[in-house]
Amino acid sequence: MILQDVLTATIFAATPLLLAALGGLLSERGGVVNIALEGIMLFGAFAAAAVTLWTGSPLLGIIAGVLTGALVGALHGTACIYLRADHVISGIAVNMFAASGTILLLKVVYGTKGSSPQLGSLKLLGVPLTVHLAVVALAAVPLVWFLLYRTRFGLRLRACGEYPEAADAVGINVHGYRLAGVVLSGVLAGLAGVFLVMTAGSFAKHMSAGRGYIALAALVFGRWRPVAVAIGCLVFALGRGVQDVLELEIGIPPQLSEMMPYLLTLLVLAVWPLIRRGRSAEPPAALGRPFVRG
């Protein structure tokens, strides 16, 4: 029984990580560091909650969450690509923007401090929307792999992340492809935020709770390859799966078990390279480097 509980909890915990990490993959294989995943999730979550509450339609809420994610992704992309902002600083600014911005919106729109009103029924065809989204997240793994390695778009995107000068020399619009990568990552991270809202039934401040950063850890763990990144997400999600069991079955205090996902991620990151020595992380060669057409 316990095993089944852990497994279910792990899959649901892995869903937002998978979506965000695959998004981060598309951004970073194109050369744009995406620390902003955390903030994109938060904005996507708020938009999904607000539009669902406003229209009464969770489907419109999902669309709003995805579009908001794409918009925030485009903002981060524009800052990094066209304004040549430092990618890490811009990402952190987006995250701080999302943290204070969503709290401000909660106050202005709903007059509350901590969370939005409850969203009501979140089902489609009699099945909870979270299940649909979990399926989408799992299906996204092969889809992103196919996009990156079997399409012209993927090849060109990777070229922009590895050697933008060469890509430019053969006529590829480096800035355009990079922006497309970041916007796609916004779509996926926004969907991750939607999932969080659909799981909780309302929007709560800081509800992304570091998942964007754990997704980045999965990128490093999986060395920027889709399948390995997905495995990383499942491993890190195990921390949350175990968390509930520790709390409910063994009686570990909740303050302590809440630490599990972060502790597990940190330990895996620290120990994994020692196990597979000599094969250190290989980020895309031009990651974080602005491209100036010369």
Partner 1 sequence: MKRLLREVAAPVQLALLALGLASLLLLLFGESPYHVGKALLRGAFASRDDLARTLAGAVPLIFTGLAVAIPFRAGLFNIGAEGQLILAGFAAGVTATVFADLSPIALMPLVMLIAMLVAMIPAGIAGWMRSRIGIHEVIATILLNFIIYSLVMWLLRVESFGLMAGMEPKTAEIPLGIRLGEAIPGTGIGVALVFAVLIAVVAEVVLFRTKPGLMLRARGGNPRAAESVGVRSGRVILGSMLVGGALASFAGTQQVLEVHHSYIEGFSPGYGFTGIAVALLGANRPLGVVLAGLFFAVLRSGAFAMDALAGIPREAVGLLEVLIILLVASELIRGSFRKARAGTAGGVA
Least distance in angstroms from the C-beta of 17 to partner 1 = 13
Which CB atom, from 79 or from 179, has the smaller least distance to partner 1?
79
Q: Is 136 in the site for partner 1 (CB under 8 A)?
A: no
d(CA 101, CA 259): 26
Which CB atom, from 107 or from 150, has the smaller least distance to partner 1?
107
Contact region with partner 1 (CB under 8 A), list: 97-105, 128-136, 146-154, 163-171: 97-105
- Candidates 1, 3, 83, 275; binder of partner 1 (CB under 8 A) is 83
Which CB atom, from 74 or from 88, has the smaller least distance to partner 1?
88
Q: Is 52 in the site for partner 1 (CB under 8 A)?
A: no
Give yes or no for a contact between 167 and 20, defined as CB atoms under 8 angstroms apart: no
Least distance in angstroms from the C-beta of 255 to partner 1 = 4
Least distance in angstroms from the C-beta of 205 to partner 1 = 10
Q: Is 103 in the site for partner 1 (CB under 8 A)?
A: yes
| Residues within window 255-274 making contact with partner 1, judged by CB under 8 A | 255-256, 258-259, 262-263, 265-266, 269-270, 273-274
Q: Spell out, one character per residue from 172 to 201, where the chain touches partner 1: x when CB under 8 A holds, - when not.
A: ------------------------------
Contacts of 47 (CB under 8 A, 6+ apart): 61, 64, 65, 67, 68, 190, 193
Nearest to 208 by CA among 224, 190, 229: 190
Q: Is 275 in the site for partner 1 (CB under 8 A)?
A: no
Q: Is 253 in the site for partner 1 (CB under 8 A)?
A: yes
Which CB atom, from 4 or from 255, has the smaller least distance to partner 1?
255
Contact region with partner 1 (CB under 8 A), list: 2-10, 82-90, 137-145, 166-174: 82-90
Q: Is 150 in the site for partner 1 (CB under 8 A)?
A: no
| Residues within window 200-229 making contact with partner 1, judged by CB under 8 A | 209-210, 213-214, 216-217, 219-220
Relative orientation angle of helices 2-29 and 58-81, to the nearest 10 degrees: 40
Place of tokens 């729109």: 109
Give yes or no for a contact between 288 and 81, defined as CB atoms under 8 angstroms apart: no
Which CB atom, from 47 or from 214, has the smaller least distance to partner 1?
214
Kindly state the tokens that stand for 194.
């939607």
Q: Is 142 in the site for partner 1 (CB under 8 A)?
A: no
Residues 64-77 as b/e (b if ≥16 CB within 10 A, e otherwise) read: bbbbbbbbbbbbbb
**Footprint of partner 1 (CB under 8 A):** 33, 35, 79, 82-90, 92-93, 96-97, 99-101, 103-104, 107-108, 209-210, 213-214, 216-217, 219-220, 253, 255-256, 258-259, 262-263, 265-266, 269-270, 273-274, 280-281, 283, 287-290
